[in-house]
């Protein structure tokens, strides 16, 4: 029998209707595809085309291998049932990852295809984890966990959850589930199992690397890197729910200018429009938006406006978009996909005609006025019930392709702005998938609560997002829900969160502060409310001085931030880095979940417990460290108790690097 063949640089296995193909795909990497009763498809949800590389292929009767750089896959036909098992090795022969064996009489399958009507399959792929393996990445899940080993994760997006199916293993490899379907992954102790509700074929990608940095750079090379962050992404951004009229926007900007506090971006939140799907300013509340934008530009401030993908049944664009087939479709029942201040359906970002239509509206009503930055909210999209099987996109059923939506939403604006000649593109967005980074996506962590627990979760989320190929990430400083402006406990939380935000890729103050005020238009219709004040001077004189201090620290760091943004642009490297990213040989670094490196040289240890005035900090071995506030030197490889009065936090600089930052905290 001849199970194996070589075809155009790929190694192919065939047996009993199943075809498995392994193809070199980037440096030290292999792409694995499999299908039952059909030929392997060439489409790829996440991986970009890459230059062809020569691989070393060896074929025997019952075994074959393919090696690309430092990654080698050995394919073994098991005697019982002729089932195929694939094992991946590094260049030294160490096992990195193995598909499960069939277990002889157990007749297990590493690749399971359960046929569904219409040609898709319920898909399951199973692997044997290596002992002691630790796992990081996978996007953004709201949990205070760094090592994902033992976690069960939904492969689907929700408000504050971004599922990016790529992880880095402490064993020395990276793994991408190249599948946009709704599903699950279970990082069990005995098996790792990936499932997809509906898929046309199995598709995954493995890369080898001696360091996490090498693994992530290999991943960025095949999925894309972000553009260079614009200069206005390096400073402070002001936002709240919500500046509801033109004069309010300008008065806040003037007050920042009067106080001589640098402000790079001022954000105009949702429902500045008449109806969802109108994509324009409401004339009653914004009578002359072009003049408003021009005045902000004169003050050196960029304007960012919120965009929602919902289209209200009453929108001026609804009937045309429905007739033209530009909306997401419900498979049955009434098309109400989100009920919020009206009956709403979602525009279909996977449809290129929709992307052109919506961008033209935004170009005419926003970009033409001088607005160069957009806030792409509701990007999951936020179906009211999250019943993913109930909806269909232009690209296919949501169960099969649903996770690409936020990437295509970011693509809509990025390509539209590029076509207008804009080069410095950054758009805030509430969700992401593999490849979102190449469309200027700055992901924020969603509508989280104003609690210390949620604050701690954001530290883990930001680190994991960076390890998932999304360097640009931020949070609502202070949390979105539940913050009372006058409450002393909240003010302290805000200060601690603000300090953390200073050392995030983008520093942005936002939230729905309480108490809020109802807004009614001239017709008597109740509009979305406006929250309490959320500017840095809104929380009392002590908080004001501290918040202003950290804005000035962010300004002082602009040169350093620009440098690490350029590195992200050129290599795809994260800005928020797990300690093990720079110090992989220090085993203790793989377990730290409450501190991180901002770039290669600045170690940040946020104070994230109520009323804490000190905290323990582990400093990685392999370097000496300088406390940014005192200038005192510390040896690496040890844990220290560091004092942290309310107006500061522990920040350490790698000795000999960025000395100009000493004394700033």
Catalytic residue list? 377, 380, 447
Overall size of the chain counted in residues:
665
Joined together, the tokens standing for residue 313 give 């049944």
Question: Roughly how many angstroms between the first and final C-alpha of the chain, as a whole number?
Answer: 70
Q: Which residues contact 525 (CB under 8 A, 6 or more apart)?
A: none
Q: What angle do CA 148, 152, 156 make, to 5 degrees?
A: 105
* E strand or H helix at 307: strand 302-307
Strand-pair category, 310-312 with 391-393: unpaired
Radius of gyration for the alpha carbons in the chain, expressed in angstroms and rounded: 26
CB 304 within 8 A of CB 342: no
Strand-pair category, 507-509 with 638-643: unpaired
Give the three-class secondary structure for 24: strand
Sign of CA dihedral 303, 256, 661, 653: negative
- Measured distance CA(548)–CA(537) in Å, rounded: 9
Joined together, the tokens standing for residue 362 give 């935004």
- Measured distance CA(309)–CA(289) in Å, rounded: 21
Phi and psi dihedrals of 200, rounded to 5? -85, -25
The CB-side HSE value for 501 (13 A sphere, CA atoms) comes to 30
Strand-pair category, 512-514 with 481-484: parallel
Distance (Å) of CA 21 to CA 9, 83, 628: 10, 15, 53
Sign of CA dihedral 517, 520, 521, 522: negative
Helices and strands, counts by H and E, the chain? 12, 44
Beta strands in 486-558 (DSSP E): 507-509, 512-514, 517-520, 526-530
Strand-pair category, 614-619 with 18-24: unpaired
Instruction: Please give, one letter per residue, the 3-state secondary structure of 65-133.
Output: EEEECCEEEEEEEECHHHEEEEEEECCCCCEEEEECCCCHHHCCCCEEEEECCCCCEEEEEEEECCCCC
Return the DSSP state at 419: H
Joined together, the tokens standing for residue 168 give 């880095």
- Measured distance CA(480)–CA(531) in Å, rounded: 11
**How far from chain centre, in Å, is Cα 623?**
30
- Measured distance CA(431)–CA(379) in Å, rounded: 5
- Measured distance CA(202)–CA(187) in Å, rounded: 18
* Closest of 532, 472, 540 to residue 507, by C-alpha: 472
How many CB atoms within 10 Å of residue 250?
17
How many CB atoms within 10 Å of residue 213?
18
Phi and psi dihedrals of 222, rounded to 5? -110, -5
CB 510 within 8 A of CB 620: no
């Amino acid at each position: 029998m001849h199970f194996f063949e070589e075809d155009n640089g790929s190694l192919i296995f065939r047996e009993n209707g199943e075809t498995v193909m392994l193809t070199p795909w980037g440096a030290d990497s292999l792409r694995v595809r499999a299908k039952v009763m059909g030929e392997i498809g060439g489409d790829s949800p996440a991986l970009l085309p890459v230059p062809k590389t020569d691989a070393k292929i060896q074929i025997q009767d019952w075994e074959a291998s393919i090696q690309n750089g430092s990654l080698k896959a050995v394919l073994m036909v098991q005697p019982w049932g002729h089932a195929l098992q694939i094992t991946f090795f590094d260049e030294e022969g160490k096992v990195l990852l193995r598909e499960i064996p069939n277990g002889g009489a157990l007749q297990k399958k590493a690749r399971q295809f359960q046929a569904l009507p219409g040609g898709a399959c319920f898909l399951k792929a199973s692997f044997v984890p290596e002992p002691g393996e630790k796992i990081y990445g996978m996007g953004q899940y709201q949990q205070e966990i760094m090592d994902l080993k033992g976690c069960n994760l939904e492969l689907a997006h929700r408000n504050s959850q971004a599922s990016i199916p790529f992880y880095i293993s402490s064993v020395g490899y990276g793994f991408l589930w190249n599948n946009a379907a709704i599903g699950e992954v279970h990082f069990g102790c005995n098996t790792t199992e990936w499932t997809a509700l509906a898929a046309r074929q199995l598709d995954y990608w493995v890369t080898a690397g001696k360091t996490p940095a090498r693994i992530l750079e290999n991943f960025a090379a095949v999925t894309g890197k972000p553009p260079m962050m614009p200069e206005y992404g390096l400073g402070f951004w002001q936002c709240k729910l919500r500046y509801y009229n033109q004069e309010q926007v300008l008065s806040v900007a003037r007050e920042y200018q009067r106080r001589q506090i640098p402000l790079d971006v001022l954000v105009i939140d949702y429902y500045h429009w008449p109806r969802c799907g109108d994509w324009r300013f409401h004339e009653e509340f914004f009578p002359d938006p072009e003049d408003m934008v021009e005045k902000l530009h004169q003050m050196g401030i960029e304007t960012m406006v919120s965009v929602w993908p919902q289209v209200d049944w009453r929108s001026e664009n609804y009937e045309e978009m429905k007739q033209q087939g530009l909306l997401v479709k419900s498979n049955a029942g009434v098309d109400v996909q989100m009920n919020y201040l009206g009956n709403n359906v979602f525009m279909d970002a996977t449809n290129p005609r929709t992307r052109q239509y919506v961008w033209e509206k935004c170009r005419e009503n926003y970009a033409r006025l001088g607005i160069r930055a957009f806030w792409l909210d509701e990007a999951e999209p936020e179906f009211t019930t999250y019943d993913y099987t109930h909806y269909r996109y232009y690209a296919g059923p949501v169960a099969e392709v649903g996770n690409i939506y936020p990437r295509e939403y970011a693509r809509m604006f990025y390509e539209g702005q590029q076509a207008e000649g804009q080069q410095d593109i950054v758009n805030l967005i509430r969700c992401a998938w593999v490849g979102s980074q190449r469309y200027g996506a700055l992901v924020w962590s969603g509508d989280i609560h104003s609690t210390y627990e949620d604050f701690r979760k954001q530290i883990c989320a930001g680190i994991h997002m960076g390890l998932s190929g999304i360097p640009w990430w931020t949070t609502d400083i202070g949390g979105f829900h539940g913050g009372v402006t006058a409450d002393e406990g909240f003010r302290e939380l805000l200060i601690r969160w603000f300090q953390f935000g200073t050392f995030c890729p983008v520093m942005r103050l936002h939230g729905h502060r309480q108490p809020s005020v109802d807004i009614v238009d001239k017709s008597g219709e109740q509009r979305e409310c406006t929250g309490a004040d959320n500017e840095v001077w809104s929380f009392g004189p002590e908080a004001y001085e501290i918040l202003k201090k950290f804005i000035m620290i962010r300004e002082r760091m602009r040169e350093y931030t620009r440098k690490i943004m350029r590195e992200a642009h050129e290599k795809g490297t994260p800005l928020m880095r797990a300690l093990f990213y720079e110090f992989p040989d220090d085993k203790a670094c793989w377990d730290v979940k409450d501190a991180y490196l901002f770039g290669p040289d600045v170690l940040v240890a946020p104070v994230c417990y109520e009323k804490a005035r000190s905290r323990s900090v582990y400093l990685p071995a392999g370097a000496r460290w300088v406390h940014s506030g005192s200038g005192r030197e510390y040896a690496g490889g040890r844990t220290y108790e560091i004092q942290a009065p309310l107006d500061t936090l522990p920040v350490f600089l790698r000795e000999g690097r960025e000395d100009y930052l000493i004394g700033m905290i």
